[in-house]
Amino acid sequence: MSSPTRILVVEDERAIAVGLQDDLAAEGYDVAVAADGIEGERAARAGGFDLILLDLMLPNKDGLAVCRALRESGVRTPIIMLTARAQEADKILGLELGADDYVTKPFSSRELRARVRAVLRRAADAAAGPGVFERGDLVVDFNRYETRRAGQSVALTPTEYRLLAALVRHPGRVLSVSELIDLAWGTGIALTDRVVYTHVNNLRAKIEPDPSEPVIVVGVRGVGYKLGE
Ligand code: CA
C-alpha cells in the first residue's frame, strides 16, 4: 500500500484550519496544521509534505514571505495560497513567487478538494516529466528538477520548469498564451498575459544563450511561444 498523501495546512484562523483538516482527512489525506508563518515554514522545510495550503494573512510571517523563503531555499512542494477576495494583487504576486494556485475565501470544501486534486495531479505529471532536455551547453533534468549550463547549476522555479516542460512536450507546435496557462498553471486559472510574459522572460534570462535573441523559448508574434528547433 502506498503511503497517504500528506498535506500541511498553514492557517491561523482555528475554525478554518479545523474545517480544512476534517475535510481533507475525510478524503484520505494525512493533514498537519501550523498556526503561524514561522511554524509553517519550519514544518514545510522539515519536508515530507506533498502539498501546502498556505494562508496569506498569518501572524509572525505572512504567507507571501513564507512562500518566497521556501522557494528561494529550494523547497518545491506545491503550494496553494488561501486569499481573501480583496487581496487580488497578492494572488498575482503569490504566483510570481512560486505558488502553484490559489483559492479565494470563502471557498466551498468541494472547490478546495478539486483544487487540491488538480495541483497534486499536476505535480505527479511534472514528476513523470519529459525526462531530460538538452540544448547546446544547457541540460534540464525534469525528473530531478536540476538545470545546468556549461556545468554550472541554474535555479529554475517550479513554474519555469512547467513552462519549459509544456514546450518540450509539444515540439514543433506553437502554444498560445492561454494554452501555456492551462499547461503550466492549470485550467480555470485567471492569469493576466503579463504574468506569463514575466515568467517567460525570467526563464529566458536563465537558459537562453542570448536572452535578447531567444532560440529556445521562441516567441511567435500574435500567437504565443514554441520550442526553438
Ligand atoms: Ca489568516
Ligand 1 center–CA 16 separation, angstroms: 9
Beta-bridge partner residues of 51: 7
> Residue 170 — pLDDT band, cuts 50, 70, 90?
confident
Pairing of strands 51-55, 6-10: parallel
pLDDT of 128 strictly over 70? no
The mean pLDDT value for 91-99 works out to 80
Strands 175-176 and 217-220: unpaired
Q: How far, in Å, CA of 163 to CA of 26, rounded? A: 33
* CA of residue 52 to ligand 1 center, whole Å: 15
User: Can you give the pLDDT at residue 127?
Assistant: 63
Centre of ligand 1 from the C-alpha of residue 74, in Å: 25
CA 118 to ligand 1 center in whole angstroms:
23
pLDDT score recorded for residue 2:
59
Please give the average per-residue pLDDT across 183-197, as a whole number.
Answer: 80
> Is 184 a residue whose pLDDT tops 90?
no
pLDDT of residue 1 exceeding 60, the answer is no
Per-residue pLDDT, 175: 93
Distance, CA 196 to ligand 1 centroid (Å)? 28
